[in-house]
Structure 1
Amino acid sequence: DLHGLLLDAVQQAGVALKLNRTLNRFTQNLEAVTVQSGDDPPVEGEVLVGADGLWSPVRQWLLGDGPPRATGHVAYRALLPQAELPEALRSSQVTAWLGPKLHVVQYPVCGGKSLNVVGIVEGRTGGDLDNWDQGTDGAGLHAALAGSCAPLQDLVRAIPAWRLWALCDRPPMQGTYQHALGRVALLGDAAHPMRPYLAQGAGMAIEDAAELGRLLAQAQDPAFDVPTLLGRYALNRWQRNARVQARAIRNGQIFHASGMVRLGRDASMKLLGERLLDLPWLYGGP
């Protein structure tokens, strides 16, 4: 649904969208950035935005800081029509199930027609790190959930097929250079991949895009040059993204806690309820 909205916006703006192209390399100087894609002629422009995800080649050419790190966490994901579930398992709410070294979240999508279920487990391998679309029967998730409550076990057993995704991330951002250098900017997971425990990976990418668009709109004014505008973009974004990355890691530790931390978490949830989840610095800002 979101991709459809974005595609409509691109087409209405008259943008030339070229799909299934592999970027081979780029070069930049003070005046322009040039990209080479496959056998196509080189393309020269004023700015290159690397919004090419966790395994971003643009990031490696720009920063050369190596691959993302494996977290040791894997996600089991399933999306199915609610009509295929027993009525007792259908839901219009967001529900999170927390347990030692794991959690499961379920929520409706597509106007409530489908249910998305994600189980994240620590300490298990998930095949190729860069392949997020591997099929599995969910046996690893079933084993991890042994002894959990009946409603959760019923939900997991009702799902016939899962996709398996080994989670990777990078440490929280350290400075503006990880967002932009010269005429090249990084956006979303290419700049700040984060663990899904705050559910903000796409949110931060959208915020990046809004800020980048706002600043690049000023590029038509000869008083502003592109590298300066990209520098402002990086300055305005990196600290917020670093904070979200760090909080996502902390949330995972809280979600998956055991022992005294787990008891403290449960007592806080019982006392404070939904107020515990409210983060005004994240949800309440402009």
Structure 2
Amino acid sequence: MANIIIAGGGIGGLAAALGIAGHGHRVTVLERRNDFTELGAGIQLGPNAFHALDLLGVGAQVRSRAVYIDELRFMDGTTGERVASMPLTGEYRARFGNPYAVVQRSDVYEPLLEGCRAHPLIRLRGTSPVVSYENGGRGPDRVSAVLASGERITGDALIGADGIRSAVRRRLVRDGEPRVSGHTIYRSVIPMELVPEELRWNTVTLWAGPKWHFVHYPIGGGAFLNLAATRDDAAREAVVGKPAARAHVLDEFPELGDTARRLLELGRDWKAWVLCDRDPVDVWTDGRVALLGDAAHPMLQYAAQGACQALEDAVVIADALDCAAEDFVQRLEKYGAERRERTARTQLVAREMGRQLYHPAGEEARARNAMLSGLTAGEMYDKVAWLHGEKLR
């Protein structure tokens, strides 16, 4: 039985803890905040996420909280034209073996947290921000997480699951601050009772326009509508959860068609983020230290795969560490090699989706509409098969 340290108590960190403890190792999760909570609104879960959640033992709990939508719908945001839709029911579920759903982030986080709290091999420690690490702490086969207080927590391996501004990554990769995308996203969650009945669609709907797009879908068992409107505004500085005036948000999307405009106008208590990501990197490990989730491969939201890929990471790293501690270095290198190509492709695809699919104008937008409208459901499934159809075991 080895002792594993995980920096970061988000979705990826807790998922890794649950998976690793399931293989018989002790795990200490170090979270910078006092409480183990998950911020944020809605996220999308593809079949690959449910496959990972099942392997971690919390698939049923997440399923009970999820909203199973009927289709992904792509609309021309200026004309209101329905361009294309990908059905997500019978044939889709049969092909990929799991549903596609939307949830609040807490609907994934809380089952993972409950599982960790109930597991005798997992210790959750708040107010413990990791600022660096030291290989060889208290022996050549050990590693120490260095806390902001100066305290050192020593174990047989350290997993950096501490997000896009990961201190573990800063020490391991040394690639500076995240890349600012130049896109600002405005988010709001409103009670579904405020939405006119004719607009209560059981879909993830995306309205695409020139240098902007607008997405909405139900969450909270259908009790709320998640709104997310993104503007390519060349923002240069990272912003996290800054309150935004309703009038400002509406002014940012003047070209929005009538139906989409009605939905945008329902938003209240808007908050703004400037989206950031990083370039893919080849090196995820340093001896007994490895990166996971946003610390390893932060990506833009446009492929709806950030949480999904972190959950996949958790399963793969847990399986890799199903061994004696003396084999950890080799096994962690194997984990990085197994995950690098897939996550790098997802990062780059997410960037390209913003540029090629969501934000074109004029002739480029018309060409996009023609391409998408010409695809059959089967052809759409073929295009996402590499992403949604991943089976980890």
Q: Structure 2 length normalisation: TM-score?
A: 0.67
Note if contact 2:181-2:235 (Cα within 8 Å) is conserved in structure 1.
Answer: no
Aligned residue for 1:217, secondary structure, equals coil
How far apart, CA to CA, are the structure 1 residues paired with 2:324 and 2:363?
54
- Within the candidate set 9, 16, 26, 2:133 is matched to 26
- Within the candidate set 231, 241, 244, 1:133 is matched to 241
How far apart, CA to CA, are the structure 2 residues paired with 1:204 and 1:140?
33
- Within the candidate set 115, 118, 125, 1:12 is matched to 118
Aligned residue for 1:218, secondary structure, equals coil
Alignment of 1:148-167 (within 5 A): 148-167=256-275
Amino acid of the structure 1 residue aligned with 2:366: L
How far apart, CA to CA, are the structure 1 residues paired with 2:376 and 2:189?
28
1:212 aligns with 2:296: no
Q: Structure 1 length normalisation: TM-score?
A: 0.91
Distance 1:247 1:39, change over 3 A: closer
Amino acid of the structure 2 residue aligned with 1:193: P
Instruction: Return the structure number with greater relative CO, CA threshold 8 A, min gap 6.
Output: 2
- Runs of 4 or more consecutive aligned structure 1 residues displaced over 6 Å after TM superposition: none
Q: Residue 276 of structure 1: CA displacement?
A: 3.5
Amino acid of the structure 2 residue aligned with 1:268: M
Unaligned runs of 5+ in 2: 1-106
Alignment of 1:1-286 (within 5 A): 1-14=107-120, 15-29=122-136, 30-39=140-149, 41-125=151-235, 129=238, 131-171=239-279, 173-175=280-282, 177=283, 179-219=284-324, 225-253=327-355, 254-272=357-375, 274=377, 275-276=379-380, 278-286=383-391
Aligned residue for 1:17, secondary structure, equals strand
Number of residue pairs matched by the alignment: 278
How far apart, CA to CA, are the structure 2 residues paired with 1:273 and 1:105?
22
Note if contact 2:206-2:214 (Cα within 8 Å) is conserved in structure 1.
Answer: yes
Distance 1:174 1:37, change over 3 A: closer
Unaligned runs of 5+ in 1: none
Q: Percent identity?
A: 33
After superposition, what is the alpha-carbon deviation per residue over 1:69-123, rounded to whole angstroms, capped at 9, x for unaligned? 1110011111122123333333322111011111111111121111111111101
After superposition, what is the alpha-carbon deviation per residue over 1:192-225, rounded to whole angstroms, capped at 9, x for unaligned? 11111111111111111110011112236xxx61
Report the RMSD for the aligned CA atoms in angstroms: 1.8
Note if contact 1:219-1:229 (Cα within 8 Å) is conserved in structure 2.
Answer: no
